Amino acid sequence: MKIAIPVANGLLNLHFGHCKSFAIMNVDQQAKKITGRNDIDAPPHEPGLLPRWLGEREVNLVISGGMGQKAKQLFGQQAIEVIVGAPAETPESLVNAYLDGTLVSGVNACDH
């Protein structure tokens, strides 16, 4: 499984569509363990591009602080699950919380 997390200064970037990079976390779901991390620069901002771009990188899940409804729909079309309202923590902390079922999602920071 691959989990994408938008990052800024080593933490989750709350503004998904305008992030500069992503941490792509490789995860063994059965072992509930992170098996690797690859940080990649995001493409220039263009509405609707990120769902397709992350889909091409075989991402299965996006953990974000906030995301608009249209973006969530476009991720759904790529069969990518989205969790919004995550706190600004390290990608490793967020993924480990997801894996052990303790990831708390709050208010969608970009619900527009």
Number of domains in the chain: 1
Question: Does residue 111 form part of some domain?
Answer: no
DSSP of 22-54: EEEEEEETTTTEEEEEEEEEPPPP-TTHHHHHH
Question: Does residue 74 form part of some domain?
Answer: yes
- Write down the residue that tokens 């098996």 correspond to: 35
**Whether pLDDT at 105 is above 90:** no
pLDDT digits (tens, 9 = 90+) for 34-44: 999 999 999 98
- State pTM to two decimals: 0.92
Instruction: Give the Cβ contact number of residue 21 at 10 Å.
Output: 14
CATH number for 54: 3.30.420.130
Question: Does residue 104 form part of some domain?
Answer: no
Question: Does residue 77 form part of some domain?
Answer: yes
Give the domain extent around 63.
2-99
Q: What angle do CA 13, 15, 20 make, to 5 degrees?
A: 60
pLDDT digits (tens, 9 = 90+) for 82-103: 999 999 999 999 999 999 999 9
